[in-house]
Amino acid sequence: MESTLRRYSDTLRITGMGVIVFGLWSIIRTLLSFAFVDNYLEKVGINVQDPFVEKLTIAMLIFILAADIAIRLKVGLDAVNEGKGKTRGLFYVIAAAVLFVPAGVLSFVTYCRDIFSGTSSVSAVYDAVSGLIVETTSLITSIEMLYSAVRVKLLRKNAEVK
């Protein structure tokens, strides 16, 4: 039982770091898109004519990105700490289950739709395939973190009972 706990604890630490890295990547990707893609808001389906509304939209996107990285940082650090043997609450497990997994599945479906729709340019398909690879990896990391977190918590609980 001790080796199983150690294995799941190691996996929990690694996947916790993965959650943090994917959060940082999403911020970097978004900032690079703003910097290098002309009319980025229009390309993602947000059509704004008024400059004030455009600035407000950008501010809301920045707020959402900040909230996303804050949650990912909290979840990732809690997973790392739990993997190191420090008992954490259930917030990070619930947040991953409620936020990351459904968002990952939705992104996966969206990228697949973009790839197989047949209406995209070759460049857009390449972008969608690379996005699909990253999102799939992020989704697998989140699911693996959830599974390891539950296993670690159950194994520790069983060890306390004995």
**Mean pLDDT lowest for which of 67-76, 113-122, 149-158?**
113-122
Give residue limits of the domains in the chain. 2-157
Report pLDDT digits (tens) over 72-90.
Answer: 999 999 999 999 988 778 8
Q: Report the C-alpha gap between 147 and 121 in whole angstroms.
A: 38
pTM above 0.85, yes or no: no
Encode 115-150: b = buried (16+ Cβ within 10 Å), e = exposed. beeeeeeeeeeeebeebbebbeebbebbbebbebbe
pLDDT confidence bin for 43, thresholds 50/70/90: low
19, two tokens: 């959650």
Query: pLDDT band at residue 50, thresholds of 50, 70 and 90?
Result: confident
Of 34-38, 45-49, 107-111, which one has max mean pLDDT? 107-111
